[in-house]
Amino acid sequence: MKVLIVVLACFALAYGQSPAKALENTINGLKEQMPCGFPDMGIPSLAPLKVDFFDLYHKLWIIKIYGDIKNAVISGLNDFSVDDVTMNVLTLKAGLSLGFRSINIQGNLSLQSWIVSFLKIKSSGNLNMTLENLRISVAVRFGMVDGVMKLMDFTPTVDLGKIEFKSTGFVIGKLTMKIVNSIAQKVVMNLFNDHKDAIEETAQAIVMPAANDFLKDMTISDLLQLLTGPKEPSEPCIPPAA
């Protein structure tokens, strides 16, 4: 405990600001770096994020979806506000809430079969989907187990305002396309609401083991440095030309 108190005292003296404010500054620094990615960690540009291929399949009662998305471009991942940040260095607990104004997903979508009662589609077109007012809140707690730093708790909460579809090219006729987009909006929003708990549990199952593998060789001082970022400013991100 004495060692921990000394480390925390040194942290406070070194940064001259509250831990929560230091964490908020770190998040904003990551936000500014997202267009350039994080080459040292092998992470490409996240604003926009480009994904070559998504495989799709879903079955719910009379609704069946088979297909894939190619050449997807996800924009807006860096268009977020840091609405709430908490950090307690004594208990090693932290929390944050991020509000994403608008995340747009575009790509080439192929549907082998989409059956909604009397409506059946087998076609290809351009996907244009927007997630509006997405909010992600996370509460974390760290601890020491047998001298090893661990992520003891990771609790995510995901909320979504609405989904908008403006996809084109799947069927002939503007009226029919408007109907398809309207159905898609309702189906996807209902799927999100119905599977919200499963989404949060899946995120927890993925993050916990990955984080603990990353933390296994870290000290408390290393963890605080990671959460609050470097003292020296890094070079500004200059996104590569499109």
Q: Using DSSP bridges, classify how beta strands 148-165 and 119-145 pair: parallel, antiparallel or unpaired.
A: antiparallel
86 falls within a domain: yes
Report how many domains make up the chain: 1
Domain residues for 114? 2-228
Answering whether pTM is above 0.75, one says: yes
Residue found by looking up tokens 């942290």 in the block: 11
Environment class of 242 (CB within 10 Å of its CB; exposed 0-12, middle 13-18, buried 19+)? exposed
Contact (Cβ atoms closer than 8 angstroms) between residue 108 and residue 67: no
User: Tens digit of pLDDT for each residue in 60-114?
Assistant: 666 677 788 899 999 999 999 998 899 887 788 999 999 999 999 999 988 766 5
77 falls within a domain: yes
Tell me how far apart the alpha carbons of residues 106 and 143 are, in angstroms, rounded to a whole number: 41
Residue 165, beta-bridge partner list: 129
Is residue 126 predicted with pLDDT exceeding 60?
Answer: yes
3-state SS, residue 7: helix
99 falls within a domain: yes
239 falls within a domain: no
How high is the pLDDT of residue 2? 47
45 falls within a domain: yes
Contact (Cβ atoms closer than 8 angstroms) between residue 25 and residue 96: no
234 falls within a domain: no
Residues in Cβ contact with 223 at an 8 Å cutoff, skipping those fewer than 6 apart: 92, 142, 149, 215
241 falls within a domain: no
Query: What is the 3-state composition of the chain as percent helix, strand, coil, each rounded to the nearest 5?
Result: 35, 45, 20
CATH number of the domain where residue 218 is located: 3.15.10.30
Mean pLDDT confidence for 28-57: 88
